[in-house]
Amino acid sequence: MESFENIIKSFYVKDELNPKIWENPEDPSNAKMKDDIRERLLEIANEFISFLGLEIFIQDVTMTGSLANYNWSEFSDVDLHIMYDFNESGDKKDLVAELFKLKKTLFNSTHDIKVKGYDVELYVQDTNEEHFSSGVYSVLFDEWINEPSPEEVTIDEGKLKSKVNQWMDIIDLVIEDINDGDENLEEVIEKIDSVKDRLKKYRSCGLEKDGEYSYENLVFKFLRRNGYIQKLFDFENEIMDKRLSLEGEETI
């Protein structure tokens, strides 16, 4: 598990964009994605679009997240978003959204695609979905949608550590409570989903109010980087396997 100091260090802003990804990284107004990076990302996006298995109109392919900003670090990944208007699916909108969510999870979990050492994570984003990232680049059209700018960021490390510890305690307690209880599978999943929903809303509120450097978003990123979010997902899978398994009879 990564140390507190390493993760905290990863949140601070760099003086330039990532030079592995960008030409002219010191000047975002003139920064362009390197040709070989852009070509490979479009190739990856096309493979993912084919994997979705539906004929849809793609409005754009974008890269967002820390690699399109000044807060990149060893923990960064390539957030590649396929832009699609879910309203075009009509009354099947919710069904298509659920399908794409499952396809995203399956594709990302069964592939280990890296670009310049960074994991590539793909996602179908609804063009109507509000997005809070200050750096967004159109890989398809080779231009900035939201041009990033370096920010003066002050992080109260004690405050952040306190909030992180609170959420780690919440996750540990729900795992301990479930292990000590005798709830049925449905009740167990409900408890775990409740924690996941609370954490998701916690992050969303922070993004909406104070942006990418809100403590709520930093807490979420911290929990992802120190393995606690994965710990919750792994426990959910483990407990589901246990509750659904039936021991076989011994054979002689």
Q: Are residues 133 and 166 in the same domain?
A: no
Where does a domain end: 112, 146, 180? 146
- Count structural domains, the chain: 2
Please report whether residue 250 resides in a domain: no
From 102, 124, 146, the end of a domain falls on: 146
Tokens (6 digits) for 142: 């080779």
8 inside domain? yes
Alpha-carbon gap, residue 30 to 24, rounded angstroms: 6
- What pLDDT, on the 0 to 100 scale, is given for residue 245? 87
151 within some domain = no
The rounded average pLDDT for each run of 10 residues, N- to C-terminus, in the chain (252 residues) is 82 93 92 97 97 95 94 94 96 94 92 96 92 87 93 88 96 90 84 94 91 92 94 91 76 54
What is the radius of gyration, based on Cα positions, of the chain? 20
Examine the domain organization and report whether 138 and 163 are in the same domain: no
91 is in which domain, residue-wise?
4-146
- Residue 175 pLDDT: 93
Domain-terminating residue out of 146, 173, 201: 146
- 189 domain-assigned: yes
Kindly state whether residue 251 falls inside one of the protein's structural domains.
no
Check whether residue 9 and residue 127 sit in a common domain: yes
One domain for residues 141 and 18: yes
Nearest to residue 82, comparing CAs of 41, 124, 133, 115?
124
Provide the pLDDT for residue 243: 81
Residue 140 and residue 82 share a domain: yes
Q: Examine the domain organization and report whether 46 and 131 are in the same domain.
A: yes
Domain match, 162 and 139 both: no
- Cα 239 to Cα 87: distance, rounded to the nearest angstrom: 37
Residue 248, pLDDT score: 63
Instruction: Write down the pTM of the prediction.
Output: 0.82
pLDDT at 130: 78
